[in-house]
Amino acid sequence: MDRTDTPDAEETPLLFDKRKPVQDKLTKYGIIAILLIWGTVLLFRVIPSLPGRKFKLAHSKTTKNGLQKISFENVRKDLFKPKMQSLQWLNTPEAKENDKGLYVANIDDRYVIKSVFDRGYSESLLNSKNFTFQGVEYKVDSMAAAPDLSQLIIRTNTKQNWRHSTFGSYFVYNKTSEEFHHIGDDIALAKWSPNSVDMVYIQGNNMYLYSTESHTTVETITSDGDARVFNGKPDWVYEEEVLESDCALWWSPDGQYIAFFKIDESQVKEFTIPYYVQDKDDLYPEMKTIKYPKSGTPNPDVDLWIYSIKEKDSFPVNVNHLSRESSPVLITEVVWVGEENLIMKISDRSSDILKVVLVDTLNKESQLVRKNPSEGGWWEITHNTLYIPKNDTLDRFHNGYVDLFPVDGFNHLVYFSSFNSSKPIILTRGEWEVVGGPLAFDHELNRIYFIATRKSSIERHVYYVELHKPEEIHPVTDTLSRGVYGISFSAGARFALLSYRGPKVPYQKIIDFKSKENLDFGELDGNILGKTLYYLEKNEKLREILKEYDVPKKEFKELNLGKDDDGEDILVNAFEILPNDFNPKLKDYYPVFFYAYGGPNSQQVLQGFSIGFNEVVASQLNAIVVVVDGRGTGFKGKRFRSLVRDNLGEYEAIDQISAAKLYSAKKYVNANKISLFGWSYGGYLTLKVLERDAGEYFKYGMAVAPVTDWSLYDTVYTERYMHTPQENIDGYVKSSVHNATSFGKVNRFLVMHGTGDDNVHFQNTLKFLDLLNLNNVENYDMHVFPDSDHAIKYHNANNMVYDRLLNWAGKAFTDQF
């Protein structure tokens, strides 16, 4: 037997000499013991870095520092949702000259007029959220005050239609007499006239004029409305993609005219959606048919009409004849620029050419005042064109408007000093963008307020510029600190609700831009212009709650994805969320959960405050969450976003794959556990990434409500980026999800969709499943949500969809597939 491991009196280890003193032996034993101890310590330190350590989900509810982790349960309870208020500013007749900052507040179930200027001012509009009419009790679902605040329009018995539209019963309430009067049922919309006496309402797709003096319908404005002709309200595609609202009518400033859309859907093809679980006793599905124009098929025919209150008659503008387009044009915006003039924006169906038409309602004449080609990109639809009224004293010699316009490849503010001018004055310029357009105009100071990315494309700060001092940009918010701000202005632009939305805990405050008091710069919080009157919301409760939680760290960065076709670096915005107790010394350990949307001109990487599904993934799945805004997304200029024109799905997929390649090379990342999740366009992008990557970097994918073929999606959105299939058939084929063989090389993927999706039809997923069947691809899971629309919320579906995503990803990361 070999005994060299334990020396004793009879056997001499090779390391020792009998002739040495005893103390030498003791010394050497001591040295060996020390070496063994240190070796053991080093071994335990090295072990976590050794390959092969098994990945585990984060089962503990707390982190090493004793704080709680983010869970789905508390996210669903909105525990981390900041409380944010909105003010319904009141645009009273005297507000431009004497702005008191009036707004409507809901206090103790009462609707009350308040003033930010005089906090003690309070005037009741309606004393309860409920009212009784002819013995029947009703609940107030929404209300709108007349301009002079004397009366209210109230909607009750509300039924949701599409995303923005509803039907309901409408009443008018008189504050003085405290009487309610029933206008009608199944009404889609009601809007006050500027005279505070009349209103226009829409019922059965026809428009009616109602007088609160006689409490009767005094005029039938249109009579041709039916299931195919819409007057004053949008059809499905105009509501969803163009106006993004339920309203397609506009009162003139003096209330003498109503401009409105007449939309004829006669040529638009129908799409039928079956609903299976609306009633448990139904034996047959309920079939709902909508007019839905798919790419390359006929659009609705739309024209702008003008109704004269005085003449009690209407006339059309005839926009298709005016624009000389062979197919129906898109009317994207209508703005009154005076009491008798308005401008409207029209474009061809592919948004290549933008035209601005001036309408003279008095003479019933129209003229084309400017025509602007997109020059390689496209014209996005905007709704913030701002009327600038004439004022000789303040050097505004004509009625004009401020618009959003490309300047050197970036969206900026320009001023058309006359409404029939075709050449603008450039107000802002630079390699940054104005977001949305002008927000407010101070009539006394000639000051235009706006939000822009001037500091950073992933921040939002408030600025102003004066009409007669173009390109002199003044910050309103503190640009020395990171921030995402929103702002809404009172009617005279003296007061504003400033909303700080991150990255720290959000707050809201009321500021006064015309305070004569000196500012104390040591106490400023967010704004460097305007006196802070008071905080509307500090979210102090949320701040206290967060002290008990270890929110996974979010780090914003700019990734270099390599070289583009011109040899220039592809620099994209991104952020990563590291899991709790993240240990960068672990080797081949952490999975990576990519989340993407990626649609044209969109943005996900923004330094706002949010604790939601991504943080749950990081906390509960012990995964690194990564979000990348690749090429095609917004706020980095025209060149960056317009690259995807006519070729959706290619560059967006390339950039996600390049980012995955970067993360797969990180020592602490397990390159075999990289996944991608997306919803809607993000679902489409997920499938295009899996198709292109074929399992090289992305091993797993989760696609929710995906587009799979752009010929199945609506005309207005799709053709803006792809033109029509007739013009770009190769682009449509290439951009579709078509290579089933690639999906067979992915470890596994998940597809989920709602059958009642009126936006991205379930047909998209069914066609994709058929493709998989034809090619014997079986490495996927499928979950269908009966009757759910695009948001997937019907019958507990929203809980189910996110539970499924989290559990499915957990199985992927723990090798259960």
Q: Which of 600, 720, 712 is nearest to 292 (CA)?
A: 712
Question: What's the burial of 136, exposed, middle or buried (CB within 10 Å: 0-12/13-18/19+)?
Answer: exposed
Count Cβ atoms below 10 Å from residue 182 Cβ, excluding itself.
13
In the three-class reduction of DSSP (H, G, I as helix; E, B as strand; rest coil), residue 181 is classed as strand
Q: Which of 13-17, 20-24, 108-112 has the lowest mean pLDDT?
A: 13-17
pLDDT the model gives residue 28: 53
Tell me whether residue 680 is one of the annotated catalytic residues.
Answer: yes
Q: How confident is the model at residue 429 (pLDDT cuts 50, 70, 90)?
A: very high
Residue 225, pLDDT above cutoff 80: yes
Dihedrals phi, psi of 228, to nearest 5 degrees = -115, -15
Helix H or strand E encompassing 731 = helix 729-735
Q: By CB neighbour count within 10 A (0-12 exposed, 13-18 middle, 19+ buried), where does 225 fall?
A: buried
Q: State pLDDT tens for residues 496-544.
A: 999 999 999 999 999 999 876 544 444 457 888 999 999 999 999 999 9
**Digit-coded pLDDT (tens) for 585-643:** 999 999 999 999 999 999 999 999 999 999 999 999 999 999 999 999 999 999 999 99
- Residues 6 or more apart in contact with residue 335 via CB below 8 angstroms: 250, 342, 343, 344, 385, 386, 387, 401
3 state DSSP class of 546: helix
Q: Taking 80 as the threshold, does the pLDDT of residue 31 lie above it?
A: no
Over residues 333-371, the pLDDT tens digits come to 999 999 999 999 999 999 999 999 999 999 999 999 999
Q: What was the pLDDT predicted at 109?
A: 79
Domains in the chain, start-ordered, CATH in brackets? 72-81+546-813 (3.40.50.1820)
Which residue, chain included where needed, has tokens 């802002």?
428
pTM, two decimals, is 0.89
Task: Please tell me which residue in 412, 723, 753, 790 is annotated as part of the active site.
Answer: 790
Who's near 454: CB < 8 A, 6+ residues apart? 430, 432, 461, 463, 473, 479
How far, in Å, CA of 232 to CA of 201, rounded?
9
Closest among 356, 359, 364 to 315, alpha carbons compared? 364
Q: pLDDT (tens digit, 9 = 90+) per residue, 485-503? A: 999 999 999 999 999 999 9
> Over the stretch 180-208, which tens digit does the pLDDT of each residue have?
999 999 999 999 999 999 999 999 999 99
Please indicate whether residue 757 is annotated as part of the active site: yes
Distance CA 197, CA 209 (A): 11
Confidence band of 747 (pLDDT split at 50, 70, 90)? very high
Instruction: Say whether pLDDT at 15 is over 50.
Output: no
Name the pairing type of β-strands 341-347 and 270-275: unpaired
- pLDDT band of 39, cuts 50, 70, 90: low
Q: So what's the pLDDT on residue 21? A: 43
Per-residue pLDDT at 53 exceeds 90: no
Predicted confidence (pLDDT) at residue 44 exceeds the cutoff of 70: no
Token pair listed for 645: 């024109």
pLDDT at 787 over 60: yes
Site of tokens 């998989």:
772
558: pLDDT strictly greater than 90: yes
Give mean pLDDT, residues 161-182. 94
In a 3-state reduction of DSSP, which class is residue 652?
helix
Q: How many CB atoms lie within 10 A of CB 23?
A: 8
Percentage, residues of the chain above pLDDT 70: 92
| 59: pLDDT strictly greater than 50 | yes
Give the pLDDT confidence score for residue 16 in this predicted structure.
Answer: 30
- Which amino acid would we find at residue 560? N
Average pLDDT, the chain: 90
Whole-angstrom distance, CA of residue 356 vs CA of residue 344: 6
CA angle 802, 806, 811 (to 5 degrees): 145
Q: In 622-649, which positions are buried (b, 16+ CB within 10 angstroms) versus exposed (e)? A: bbbbbbbbbbbbbbbbbebbbbbbbbbb
Q: Are 471 and 459 in contact (CB under 8 A)?
A: no
Q: Is residue 88's pLDDT more than 90? A: no
pLDDT at 264: 96
**pLDDT at position 127 over 60:** yes
Task: Kindly write down the DSSP assignment for every residue of 515-533, as one continuous string.
Answer: --SPP-GGG--SBSSSEEE
| Amino acid 322: pLDDT | 74
| CA–CA gap between residue 620 and residue 533 (Å, rounded) | 42
Single out the catalytic residue among 198, 403, 629, 757. 757
pLDDT at 123: 87
User: DSSP code of 299?
Assistant: P
Structure tokens at 636: 């980095």
- Based on its alpha-carbon atoms, the radius of gyration of the chain, rounded to whole angstroms, reads 32
- Any idea which residue has 């006519």 for tokens? 646
| Residues 225/204, Cβ–Cβ less than 8 Å | yes
Alpha-carbon span 437 to 450, nearest angstrom: 7
- Between 447 and 419, the more confident residue is 447
Active site residue 790: yes
pLDDT in tens, 303-329: 999 999 999 999 999 887 776 666 689
- What is the pLDDT, as a whole number, of residue 26? 46
Q: Each residue of 241-265: pLDDT tens digit?
A: 999 999 999 999 999 999 999 999 9
Token digits of residue 337: 């620029």
Three-state DSSP string of 625-645: EEEEECCCCCCCCHHHHHCCC
Catalytic residue, candidates 456, 619, 642, 680? 680
Are 113 and 103 in contact by the 8 Å Cβ rule? The answer is: yes
